[in-house]
């Protein structure tokens, strides 16, 4: 039974700052402009700020793991197999 999700949300608290390389200093930042709001809404990226050095930029809020990729492939295979079976059944009746 597969209980692990396909995509996990990241906690920026455990990531390193790209500028000063310190762990535990990143925090969510509010979008300042309309473009930043659109990017935050439509993509998996969000604005973050470093409390120590002041770096501000975008970081991914989601992460794909090896297990999640395996689960995704397994789900796609199950969907393809189910579609093949439904196609074969419908082909007999037509």
pLDDT tens, residue order, the chain (94 aa): 444 556 666 777 778 888 998 888 888 888 899 998 998 899 888 899 999 999 998 888 777 778 878 888 999 999 999 999 999 999 998 7
pTM for the full model? 0.59
Neighbouring CB atoms inside 10 A of 46's CB total: 19
Q: Is residue 3 part of a domain?
A: no
- Classified as helix, coil or strand, 76 is helix
Q: Is residue 1 part of a domain?
A: no
Q: Is residue 5 part of a domain?
A: no
| CATH, residue 47 | 2.20.25
91 and 46 housed in the same domain:
no
28 and 68 housed in the same domain:
no
Range of the domain at 82: 64-94
- Rounded to whole angstroms, the Cα distance separating 74 from 76 reads 5
Secondary structure letter of residue 65 according to DSSP: -
Q: Is residue 4 part of a domain?
A: no
Q: Number of folded domains in the chain?
A: 2
- Residue 47 in contact with residue 30, Cβ under 8 Å? yes
- Rounded to whole angstroms, the Cα distance separating 58 from 53 reads 15
β-strands 8-9, 26-28: how paired? unpaired
34 and 76 housed in the same domain:
no
């Amino acid at each position: 039974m597969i209980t692990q999700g396909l995509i996990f949300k990241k906690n920026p608290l455990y990531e390193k700052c790209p500028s000063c390389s310190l762990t535990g200093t990143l925090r969510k930042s509010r979008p300042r402009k309309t473009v930043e709001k659109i990017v935050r809404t439509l993509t998996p990226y969000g604005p973050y700020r470093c409390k120590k050095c002041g770096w501000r930029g975008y970081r991914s809020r989601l992460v794909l793991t090896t297990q999640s990729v395996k689960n995704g492939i397994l789900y796609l295979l199950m969907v393809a197999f189910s579609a093949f079976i439904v196609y074969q059944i419908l082909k007999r009746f037509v």
